[in-house]
A and B are shown apart, each in its own frame.
Chain A
Amino acid sequence: MPDALTAKQVGDLAKKFTELATRVQEYQNANCNSMSPAEYRRIAFLICDLSDISNDLINKAVGLIIANAQQSVTDIENATTQAKAAIGHLKDIQHTISLLTAVVGLGTAIMTGNVTAIIPSIANVIAQSQS
């Protein structure tokens, strides 16, 4: 198989062999009654051989499809990483605001001298900083 053939060209060749096998089958069905069992069997073998060639070509074509897709897979993975970073950035801003809110709550509790509010406020700051 020359390397110059593309996946599409190899795939198209495979389809031609399949079409040929189908045509032979149609011929076999149309002339079924005028054939001896041995002739009928030989034609059935021929259909199998043509289908085998098609399947072999398909194996080559799919191998080429996978190899050719590698660069695009990498490019899309990069775009996905970029999207994940943007999502993370948007969530970070929200997280910062939540942390800031917890810190202000703690400051308020300390300034008012409300001892019962200080402990839950500290817990809230810790929870926000760890989330």
Chain B
Amino acid sequence: MMSAGQRKKTKFIGLISVIVCFSLLLSGCVSLKAIQNFAEKSMQTSAYEAFVDDYRDSLVRTQQYERELKGTDAAKLEEWEQQNSEKLNVRENHKKGLKTIHITVVQYMACLATLASDNLFTYDTAMKGLASELAANPAFSAQSKEVKAVGNISGILFQAFGEKYRQDKLKTIIRDANAPFQDLISSLKEFMGLYVTVLANEKNVLEADYGVLIKYRNEKEPTGVVLANSILIEKNAVLASRVKSANQYIELLNEIGKGHQHLYDHMDKLSDKEVLSAMLNYAQKITQIYSAIQALK
């Protein structure tokens, strides 16, 4: 036969167990590290800044080749230089806007990574500390075991409800952000496509300039042709590398957009193994593409 005290204790432990099980079920209690990883990899895209700077600098180089080609008709040159300067100013002004789009995406991803971090909070440790302090208090010493138990259980409960709150917030944020996020990724891709065209323009003007130079030297100074050809090959190689790098960056933006879309499509089951596995794949692809871009530098 159990004493009244023992029955009370058994009831207490049973009730606590039910609450804990319910809380664990409610929270899912699965690590969201794959989502954190995806968001972190997506924000490490500093190569973009160099593309934006080169969007303007490419025009400087193109104008220089044109200057060499078109010669020095003083009156027209002044007017032409004035126009060139205005076009460069337009690109200089674009740099801020283009970088703002990118920074907005990076800051959003940084917050998403923090919210998905499993180390964001550790209530159980804090609650164990509180339980120890309560147990040491003379007013509670008679029930110190229960106080410790309540402290430990409360830690788990806080963790579980915190987890539920975190997942709900992640879901809300992903739901609200997906449409504008996809718009910004499209804007970045659209800009990168135009940057590739800017480089193609530079290549066309470069070849026009060196083509004339080589054609004229062929008749007057054949020895200079070898040097001009080797400079042209070198400059073309640099441009080809930039184009490759820019195209890979577009591919990287595609993966970021697809990854976020996947989170949106599965926002009701963010802690599912399939979703987390897919996010891990996106993070790995982004890392691979980014390493390839870095290797081209």
Contacts and interface: CB of A to CB of B under 8 A. Distances in A.
Interface string B158-187: 100010011001001100110111011001
Given A44-B69, A65-B190, A73-B101, A83 B205 contact: no
Contacts of A51: 62, 201-202, 204-205
B108 A76 contact: yes
Interface in A101-121: 101, 104-105, 107-108, 111-112
A68 interface: yes
B115 interface: yes
A82 B176 contact: yes
Interface string B112-156: 101100001111001101100110111100000000000000000
A66 B98 contact: yes
Contacts of B209: 44
Contact of B138 (A65, A78, A108): A108
A62 to B, nearest CB: 5
Contact of A86 (B101, B115, B127): B115
B157 to A, nearest CB: 12
A66 B193 CA distance: 14
B139 A18 contact: no
A60 to B, nearest CB: 9
Interface in B49-73: 55, 59, 62, 66, 69-70
A86 B94 contact: no
B215 to A, nearest CB: 5
Contacts of B129: 97-98, 101
A82 B139 CA distance: 42
B136 A61 contact: no
Contacts, number: 200
A45 B121 CA distance: 65
Interface in A44-65: 44-45, 47-48, 50-52, 54-56, 58-59, 61-63, 65
B48 interface: no
A71 B133 CA distance: 51
Contacts of B111: 80, 83-84, 87
B187 A72 contact: yes
Interface in A1-55: 7-8, 11, 14-15, 18, 21-22, 25, 28-29, 32, 37, 40-41, 44-45, 47-48, 50-52, 54-55
A40 B173 contact: no
Contact of A11 (B90, B91, B193): B193
Of the four ranges (under 10, 10 to 19, 20 to 34, 35 or more), the interface on chain A belongs to: 35 or more
A41 to B, nearest CB: 5
B257 to A, nearest CB: 13
Contacts of B225: none
B229 interface: no
A55 B121 contact: no
A57 to B, nearest CB: 9
A62 B129 CA distance: 57
Contact of B197 (A18, A29, A63, A72): A18
B219 interface: yes
Contacts of A71: 180
Contacts of A69: 97, 101, 183-184, 187
A44 B179 CA distance: 45
A127 interface: no
12 contacts: A25-B207, A45-B208, A48-B208, A51-B202, A62-B191, A76-B184, A83-B112, A87-B114, A90-B120, A91-B120, A104-B130, A112-B138
Interface of A: 7-8, 11, 14-15, 18, 21-22, 25, 28-29, 32, 37, 40-41, 44-45, 47-48, 50-52, 54-56, 58-59, 61-63, 65-66, 68-69, 71-73, 75-80, 82-84, 86-87, 89-91, 93-94, 97-98, 100-101, 104-105, 107-108, 111-112
Counting from the closest, the 9 A-B pairs by CB-CB distance are A66-B97, A83-B111, A75-B180, A72-B180, A79-B177, A44-B208, A86-B169, A104-B133, A72-B183
